[in-house]
Amino acid sequence: MRLSLDDTIIAPATVPGSGAIALIRVSGPKAFEFTDAVVRFRKGNAASSEGYSIHFGTVFTQNGRELDDVLVSIFRAPHSYTGEDCTEISCHASRYITGEIIRLFIDAGARYAEPGEFTRRAFTAGKMDLAQAEAVADLIAAGTEAAHRAAFMQLRGGFSSELRQMRSELVELVSLLELELDFSEEDVEFADRGRLNALLDSLRAHVAGLTDSFRLGNAIRNGVPAAIVGAANTGKSTLLNALIGEDRAIVSDIAGTTRDTVEDTVNIGGILFRFIDTAGIRDTSDVIEKLGIERTFKRISEAEIILAVLDADSDEHKISEECREVLRHISIPSQKLVFLLNKADIADKNRYNKNVIAINKIVLSIENQIKVFTISAKTGQGLPELKKHLSDMESQLISDTDATFVTNFRHYQALGAAALSLDEAAAALASGEPTDLVAELLRAALSHLGSITGDITTDEILETIFSKFCVGK
């Protein structure tokens, strides 16, 4: 779809029908003309107002009835979000009022904006690059401190400037090689191979660092995946409900209650966790439960943290076997494990003590810091300590450093493609391949990196990105 910049667009910037005030955004060459057609200013009009000024006015319906008193903010090109002439109309947040005002603008000649069209215009006007435009959506969606930090850093251009720096290093590399190409007849090597290799190596390390940060970046955005696993009836679903603070999963004293995985996110200490309740592990002939247990193992393999729930009131041999079963399915240290001795409120003291000894024996045999907590998912005992431990384990997600996290899958893919081209270029250079092949590979890397900020892009890519935005953004 071609979106003409000649159109003046309009959309609500707030959710209609909620809150006290609604904001309607107008942008384009006729923003002031249309605003004057719809709003009667107390003094003057939009066309003659200065930028960054605000005006009181009244909107009348087509048949001259007063609709609402409004405030109009004026932004003159290029000093606006979109870089165009813009007005923002604050009215009472009634669905009826906002709907009528928008209708009056459309009757005057404005067009209802497409999703993300305001931000797309900002990108087109060079107000922000593509990575920054995408950060606008992330910033609005950010529900935790960690997500906010990552989005804000990207919006401020931190990620973009890192990319720019890498691109200029790449341009330098390519131009060194191209100089050589120009004189290839004379068989001279202009570029110092040692310097070329060093530059290439530092670029590869930089790209690899960014690619690696996606694991954390993804956790920031979608929640750190923490799988709640264990034998049937140990209290996994009760724990999920306690952690997220609502009755999300069905709890019963019948073993095999949970069949499918149930998950939800919760903010603990500024970090978003995604807790996944799974089907209890046990031998069963029930076909559906079996499928559920297969799913449990899949979720264990994908999780960052595994919360292994054990029944503190059960037999020590059974507990030991359950611990070993969990350990068979995870890879330490890339995955973090926490053992939870649940049902502490009803556990027999003697049995509980034996279980603690049995678990500690297993934990001590592994060269890794595995924590053991005694909890009661039912009464909440031990849960504050568990939560503290969870947020401590992931505290690097909100560290004070200005390190860039790649949070966007599109960026991750582009970085991966760039890394591949750089690896190939390094290999080609090492094996003495022709200079033009090396230069070609470096140019490919350059264009992959350029696609992140939108220096190199297509309408199709823009369409896909901005269509995910809401109208009014």
Ligand X SMILES: Nc1nc2c(ncn2[C@@H]2O[C@H](COP(=O)(O)OP(=O)(O)OP(=O)(O)O)[C@@H](O)[C@H]2O)c(=O)[nH]1
Q: For the CB of residue 126, give the shortest distance to ligand X in the complex, in Å.
A: 54
Q: Which of 292, 472 has the CB closer to ligand X?
A: 292
C-alpha–C-alpha distance, residues 403 and 308, integer Å: 32
Diameter of the chain measured on Cα atoms: 88
Say whether residue 258 binds Mg ion (CB under 5 A).
yes
Looking at the DSSP assignment, which residues form a beta bridge with residue 24?
A: 12, 89
Q: What's the token pair of residue 337?
A: 């494990």
Helices (H), 304-434: 316-328, 349-364, 383-393, 409-430
Task: Using the rule CB under 5 A, give the single segment among 6-14, 234-242, 342-350, 451-459 that binds Mg ion.
Answer: 234-242
C-alpha–C-alpha distance, residues 144 and 221, integer Å: 9
Q: What's the token pair of residue 465?
A: 């990105």
Q: Which of 236, 473 has the CB closer to Mg ion?
A: 236
- Give, for 10, the enclosing helix (H) or strand (E): strand 9-12
Q: For the CB of residue 363, give the shortest distance to ligand X in the complex, in Å.
A: 21
C-alpha–C-alpha distance, residues 346 and 397, integer Å: 37
Q: For the CB of residue 361, give the shortest distance to ligand X in the complex, in Å.
A: 24
Task: Using the rule CB under 6 A, give the single segment among 15-23, 216-224, 247-255, 429-437 that binds ligand X.
Answer: 247-255
Q: Which of 89, 232 has the CB closer to Mg ion?
A: 232
Site string for ligand X, 358-397 (x = CB under 6 A): ------------------xxx-------------------
At 425, the amino acid letter reads A
Say whether residue 257 binds ligand X (CB under 6 A).
yes
Say whether residue 325 binds ligand X (CB under 6 A).
no
Helices (H), 109-268: 117-124, 130-141, 145-155, 158-182, 193-222, 236-244
Say whether residue 252 binds ligand X (CB under 6 A).
yes
Question: Judged by CB under 6 A, how many residues of this single chain contact ligand X?
Answer: 22
Task: Using the rule CB under 5 A, give the single segment among 41-49, 229-237, 287-295, 415-423 that binds Mg ion.
Answer: 229-237
Q: Which of 164, 295 has the CB closer to ligand X?
A: 295
Task: Using the rule CB under 5 A, give the single segment among 219-227, 258-266, 365-373, 376-384 that binds Mg ion.
Answer: 258-266
Hey, which residues between 179 and 238 contact ligand X (CB under 6 A)?
232-238
Q: For the CB of residue 155, give the shortest distance to ligand X in the complex, in Å.
A: 41
Say whether residue 341 binds ligand X (CB under 6 A).
no
Nearest to residue 324, comparing CAs of 390, 237, 246, 230?
A: 230
Say whether residue 124 binds Mg ion (CB under 5 A).
no
Which entry of ligand X, Mg ion, none binds 49, CB below 5 to 8 A by partner kind? none
Task: Using the rule CB under 5 A, give the single segment among 66-74, 169-177, 235-243, 463-471 that binds Mg ion.
Answer: 235-243
Q: For the CB of residue 74, give the shortest distance to ligand X in the complex, in Å.
A: 59
Q: For the CB of residue 281, give the shortest distance to Mg ion in the complex, in Å.
A: 11
- The single-letter DSSP state of residue 157 is T
Which entry of ligand X, Mg ion, none binds 343, CB below 5 to 8 A by partner kind? ligand X
Nearest to residue 314, comparing CAs of 345, 281, 347?
A: 347
- When CB distances to ligand X are compared, the closest residue is 280
Say whether residue 342 binds ligand X (CB under 6 A).
yes
> 119 Cβ partners below 8 Å, 6+ apart?
81, 128, 133, 136, 137, 466, 469, 473
Q: What's the token pair of residue 73?
A: 């903010």
At 450, the amino acid letter reads G
423, 410 Cβ separation under 8 angstroms: no
> 90 by DSSP, 3-state: which?
strand
Q: What's the token pair of residue 473?
A: 């953004």
Q: For the CB of residue 249, give the shortest distance to Mg ion in the complex, in Å.
A: 6
Say whether residue 237 binds Mg ion (CB under 5 A).
yes
C-alpha–C-alpha distance, residues 328 and 258, integer Å: 22
Nearest to residue 280, comparing CAs of 320, 242, 311, 315?
A: 311
Which entry of Mg ion, ligand X, none binds 166, CB below 5 to 8 A by partner kind? none
At 126, the amino acid letter reads G
Contact positions vs ligand X (CB under 6 A) = 232-238, 251-253, 255-258, 280, 342-343, 345-346, 376-378
Contact positions vs Mg ion (CB under 5 A) = 236-237, 257-258
